[in-house]
Amino acid sequence: MTRILNAEPLDYSPIARDILREIGTLEEIDLHRPELLTHLDETNVLIVRLRNQIDREVIESAPHLKVIVTATTGLDHIDTALTTELNIKVLSLKGEIDFLRSIPATAEHTWGLILGLVRNLPWAHQSVLSGEWQRDRFRGRDLCGRHLGIVGLGRIGEKIARYGQAFGMKVAAYDPYRQNWLPEVKRTSTLEELCHQSEIISLHIPLNDKTRGFFGAQAISWLPPGALLINTARGAVLDETALLVALENGLIGGVALDVLSDETAPERPLTARLVEYARSHTNLLLTPHIGGATIDSMHATEIFMAGKLAEYLSKAHLLKK
């Protein structure tokens, strides 16, 4: 039978697991990179999340690999040029727009980050744990009436726009590719126009050659004094070096990041600098790429991907009895 290795099975959907057992021999082992490299000799299907970089070394350690399954929209953790060259199929959530509209996790986390920044929630909590009770120290700002800017009005950006409207915010967006525009969302013709009017700006664009470093020093300089910036898309769409300079020089009011450009790198030098800044400042909020990591949303995507794998194996005549 087809040998399936789930290398990140923690809290994996029982329903998805049953589907996988119907189509192959399922092995579930929680593997970090060193162990992963030694467990791929007989693997036909590799299921991953975001822990490991599936690069040339990993792929070449799996001589019988036919399919990689990842319940993500981004594929920057997989060497897709090599998988194409070796005729290894990569199954993901990329392009599954209708299904993804039902998944709220990243949008909800984005809104949590906005509230965390605006109301100083993490730092107020830490202050209480330290034995303090300083109400005046943590005065926040209202969201109602403020200007929210959204870069990328796709499925997540659309949800953020509606959340903003529900909070009584004035919502604008920049997305040159969107055709049918949302009602009561102002359409801006340039990124500069959006930045100038945004008190809070949230990034929701995919990572590709055109968007790498898309939001850099110039865009940051266009923001009004005290503006807040949120990124739950991909780390590399934001020039984090320029961002750190802006933070250190007081050129931006606050930042919340769920994604970092070097989060999968072994040393993570830029991450270390951002973390060091966050230790001594109360205007940088960091979370470890947990935007999509709710049990509900992950189970839904795992079930979807298990079904997608079953369909692909059947059509490709790779189901081995």
Q: Are residues 65 and 129 in the same domain?
A: no
303/265 same-domain check: no
What's the rounded Cα separation, in Å, for the pair 200 and 191? 14
Asked whether residue 212 falls in the same domain as residue 124, the answer is yes
- Domain co-membership, 253 together with 271: yes
Same structural domain, 125 and 260: yes
Does residue 90 sit within a domain?
yes
Q: What is the CATH number of the domain that holds 269?
A: 3.40.50.720
Token digits of residue 41: 């000799």
Structural domains counted in the chain: 2
Does residue 263 have an active-site annotation? yes
The residue annotated as part of the active site, out of 146, 155, 289, 302, is 289
On whether residue 8 sits in a domain, the answer given is: yes
**Confidence (pTM):** 0.88
User: Per residue in 15-49, is it b (16+ CB within 10 Å) or e — as a string?
Assistant: ebbebbeebbebebeebeeeebeebbeebbbbbbb
Q: For residues 295 and 104, what is the distance between their CA atoms, to the nearest angstrom?
A: 12
Residue 222 forms part of a structural domain: yes
The answer for residues whose C-beta is within 8 angstroms of residue 244's C-beta and 6 or more apart is 270, 273, 274, 277
Q: For residue 41, what are the domain limits?
A: 3-100+295-315
Distance between CA atoms of residues 135 and 244, nearest Å: 29
Residues 306 and 280 in one domain: no
Does residue 250 sit in the same domain as residue 147? yes
Say whether both 58 and 161 belong to one domain.
Answer: no
**Same domain (yes/no): 178, 257:** yes
- How far, in Å, CA of 18 to CA of 13, rounded? 9
Task: Please tell me the predicted confidence (pLDDT) of residue 316.
Answer: 79
How many angstroms separate the CA atoms of 194 and 214, rounded? Answer: 14
How far apart are the C-alpha atoms of 273 and 278, rounded to whole Å?
Answer: 9
The answer on 231 and 165 residing in a single domain is yes
178 is catalytic: no
**Residue 227 domain flag:** yes
Q: Do residues 29 and 5 lie in contact, with contact meaning Cβ atoms separated by under 8 Å?
A: yes
- Looking at the domain assignment, is residue 112 inside a domain? yes
Catalytic residue among 8, 199, 240, 263: 263
Q: Is residue 51 part of a domain?
A: yes
In this structure, the answer to whether residues 94 and 151 fall within a common structural domain is no
**Average pLDDT per 10 consecutive residues for the chain, totaling 321 residues:** 93 96 94 93 94 93 96 90 96 92 95 98 97 95 98 96 98 95 95 98 94 96 97 96 96 97 85 94 96 94 96 80 48
How many Cβ atoms are within 10 Å of 209's Cβ, its own excluded? 5
Same domain, 12 and 88: yes
* 289: annotated active-site residue: yes
pLDDT score for 319: 62
First to last CA, the chain: 5
Find all residues with CB under 8 Å of 262, minimum gap 6, and list them: 235, 268, 269, 270, 271
Contact in structure between 205 and 182 (CB atoms under 8 Å):
no
Residue 320: per-residue pLDDT: 54
Domain assignment present for 151? yes
Q: Which of 109, 146, 204, 234 is catalytic?
A: 234
Q: Cα–Cα distances in Å, from 239 out to 135, 159, 248, 250, 315?
A: 35, 25, 15, 17, 42
The answer to whether residue 320 is domain-embedded is: no
Compute how many other C-beta atoms are within 10 angstroms of the C-beta atom of residue 278: 17
Task: Identify the pLDDT of residue 95.
Answer: 87
Cα–Cα distance for residue pair 48/51, rounded to 1 Å: 8
